[in-house]
Structure 1
Amino acid sequence: MADVKNIATRDSYGAALKQLAAEGHDELVVLDADLAAATKTGVFKKAYPDRHFDCGIAEGNMMGVAAGLSTMGYIPFVSSFAMFAAGRAFEQIRNSIAYPRLNVKIGATHGGISVGEDGASHQCCEDFALMRSLPGMTVICPADDVEARAAVRAAFEHRGPVYLRFGRLAVPVFHDEANYHFEIGKGEQLTEGSDIAIIATGLMVNEARIAAENLAKEGIHARVINIHTIKPLDEELVLKAAAECGKVITCEEHSVIGGLGEAVCALLSEKQPTPVRRIGVQDKFGCSGPAWDLLREYGLCAANIEANVREMLGK
């Protein structure tokens, strides 16, 4: 693959918020929980200090503040690490935002194992499961900078609660911004192939692309699908891939319990019974270490995708 830029999607989040404000969207406000430098909302704060509110290390209260602001016509983006946003503030998200279906957007950074040296306490691999369980909650996990910035804009334009997960780790930018279109609830097929379908989200999408390229050299043609919206799932795209490929592998930087893999399995078991293998965190906590080393240790890499494809195909 050609050389590409590497950008963390948390940087994309801050840049997208600033761009939306620059376009004259005065109803946009940003809340943070003493982490503006890490979540990158500090970019917005520097440009629009009167519309950025630091709520301190009180994430539950911050969700309540955002709920109140939304009832006054503002569109708040509430920002913190995924562990603190989805985890610590779950009750307030459930009762104060999701239950009344308020127009609040949750920007959760530092999701997954790739948080790295911060260790298990900060490596949130449960957020998809928590947020998927809430009625009416849209759950998005972009794969690169272009997609992340487009996702923030789509969330802003969407009416209702949205959970967006961004990463700490700089990842390759493989989308062409000039030709990319983002739509909530619609995935994209990245490669042709009918031997097996690899359905991925977040940073695992690029790993799936690398795996497909390597497998093609062996005569194995994998269809790679990017599912940026985990809820609502693009059922049409998933069912089509399963029917035409006959075997499916899901890939996510999240527990295999409750995330993309389970969403795909639930759909296929009801409408298109298909052999599925889930690549993700296998019911265990993370540990401290360099991000890419941890991803390989937990099997969240192209090499493990390739090995699973070969095994499923009996190669």
Structure 2
Amino acid sequence: MAAMASRQEGAAAAARWLEVGAEHAGQRIDNFLIRELRGVPRSRIYRILRTGEVRVNAGRARAGYRLQPGDRVRIPPLRAAERLAPRPDEGLAARIAQAILYEDEAVLVLDKPAGVPVHAGSGYGYGVIEALRSVHPQGRALELVHRLDRDTSGCLLLAKGRAVLRALHRAWREGGVDKGYLLVVHGTWPAGLREVGEALARQGDRVVADPAGRRARTRFRVRERLPAATLLEAHPLTGRMHQIRVHAAAAGHPILGDRRYGERARDRALGVPRLCLHAAWLALAHPAGGRRLRVEAPLEGRLAAFLEALRQGRAG
């Protein structure tokens, strides 16, 4: 089990104490609770952390606390209604199962559909990870290595088990994973603009370019010039929220179909069907053995069709 119950305080309504095993060393407590309390809304989990209902070794713990082997975690009683997770739609679960691009004993790479969040939350009862866990034989072992925005399609990397997850997170932090994106932006991207390095800061549910924010770098390369738009290749060198989208907008060329940072009037005029951002490939040293692994995701159908319409001047 992920953690072993070391004491039960009375009946079913009592708090539980879990003892953390070595396999969860270094995991943030919020992520530990999200997995342990599947179906409980994330807002509720963060609330019980803020109010001190969750304890680690009898003391309060912040959401970012990283667990240590032997830690004892108190989980407060939750009503049954809070623990009921919506069952993923059977059609979505089947679609997700058919979207596996690569799988072996350690990793799985999925071609995430646009419009589907990677996990439950923010008004969504379930996401890609919940749907995949509901149909995959090793569902309980699957862990997201990174995130993609809900409207972004393409390569999503998952680990099978905590040890593999830790190895991949380390590779991610140290720049050992090459991530390539394709995107279509408004206007003519300047030939000499090869990198955008504005620091980024969060403002509510948005991200803005802010010199006082966190360092962020994205490399861009022109793939094709289109009527009124440019097809780009992007390589994020850091991993900030909405990084590619905000850097493209900060350069004066927002991504087509970006409802948060884009230009809606121009999008409507062109008949843009979705956010034109696609995680096209992942390349990394395999966590078991070190061989080079590269996985590519073909352009999603609507995006491919729209790109062809742009080429032929038929968009809009």
Q: Would you call these one fold, judging by a TM-score over 0.5?
A: no
Structure whose residues are more often strand by fraction: 2
* Higher Cα radius of gyration: 2
| Structure 1 length-normalised TM | 0.30
Return the structure number with greater relative CO, CA threshold 8 A, min gap 6.
1
